[in-house]
Amino acid sequence: MGSASLVGQLCKTFLADRDGHVMLLRVYIDESGTDKGAPVLTVAGYVAKPSQWQTFSKEWTRVLKPTGIKVYHATDAQACRGEFEGWKKEEVAALASKLLPIIPKYAAGISINLNMRDFDAALEKRPELRSCFPDPYGACFHWMTLKLVELAKKHNGEARFALIHEQNSQQHEAQEAYDWIKDRRDTDGSLISLTFAKKDEFVPLQAADILAFEASKRIRDPSKPDRIPWTILNPVHKRTSCMYYDKSNMHRLIALLETVSEKMRNLNAVEEAAKQWLRISRRSQRR
């Protein structure tokens, strides 16, 4: 079975044979950062319909297969290591110039970038927020998911979504964040599933990997001209957006966390009241 056919079948499975969109999520942790070596957490994602991902996979594989590269890893390509060992920078650039334009033809993307040093400083005196969001990746996953749903609905009206997350060390945090959104924010049942896959078995994840890598590169120093790969991923029609939180706008993020935290407390209070009522009701029935 070809990769495109496999992608088509997997998309149908992820969506439980319903019409909808498939979202791809990828995390990239930049250890150099933008502020005196502060690390930056980047979460990036693309959204498109299954038919678009299937066509994307055909075109992507047609370009990649003759090179002998099985999986395009952005970090390996940049460093000429792994499958790219022995390649020249010019050869990598030539391949990227053919592959990257394929992505915005079929998908819309978003990246959320968080300066961890500034985030930790903002929460240092806010233990109540830290307790609600102990893991920043989970919070970024939360925002990314809601933003991608918002983006897809803006262009396509009502929609259903299957999330595909790369198999990596962030799976546990992603699952917890998804469960929270599904239970408390998915009021119209938009989210159908969260599935974990590898980039070699689900080709579109390679696109999310590239977006995460290039978004992280871009926010290291926003004053510098955009890298060529970023201009390809984000052409004139602006199919890709890049959101960055640091000390200059961290107050906006904290305000958002406060709102979510308040909703969480209210929901927990309602849930506890319901449990209490159920316990009292059962005791009354036994009497």
* Helix, strand, coil share of the chain (percent; to 5): 55, 15, 30
pLDDT for residue 200: 87
What structural domains does the chain harbor?
A: 3-286 (3.30.420.10)
Please indicate, yes or no, whether the overall pTM of this predicted structure exceeds 0.85.
Answer: no
Under a CB-based contact definition with an 8 Å cutoff, are residues 35 and 117 in contact? yes
CB count in 10 Å sphere of residue 52: 18
CA 1 to chain centre: 28
pLDDT for residue 34: 37
The SS3 call for residue 224 is coil
CA 187 to chain centre: 21
pLDDT for residue 100: 95
pLDDT for residue 145: 79
Distance CA 64, CA 275 (A): 56
Distance CA 24, CA 217 (A): 20
> Tens digit of pLDDT per residue, the chain (287 long)?
567 777 878 777 877 777 777 777 666 555 444 344 557 888 888 888 888 999 999 999 999 999 999 999 999 999 999 999 999 999 999 999 999 999 999 988 888 888 888 888 888 878 777 776 667 777 778 777 777 777 666 656 667 788 888 888 888 888 888 888 888 777 777 888 888 888 888 899 999 999 989 988 887 777 788 888 988 998 765 678 888 888 888 888 788 778 777 766 665 544 554 455 455 445 544 54
For residue 188, the 8-state DSSP code is: T
Using DSSP bridges, classify how beta strands 161-166 and 240-245 pair: parallel, antiparallel or unpaired. unpaired
Region class of 284: left (phi > 0), else alpha (psi between -120 and 50), else beta: alpha
Residue 226 structure tokens: 């955009």
Distance CA 186, CA 266 (A): 17
Distance CA 175, CA 205 (A): 17
Distance CA 157, CA 173 (A): 29
Distance CA 217, CA 244 (A): 12
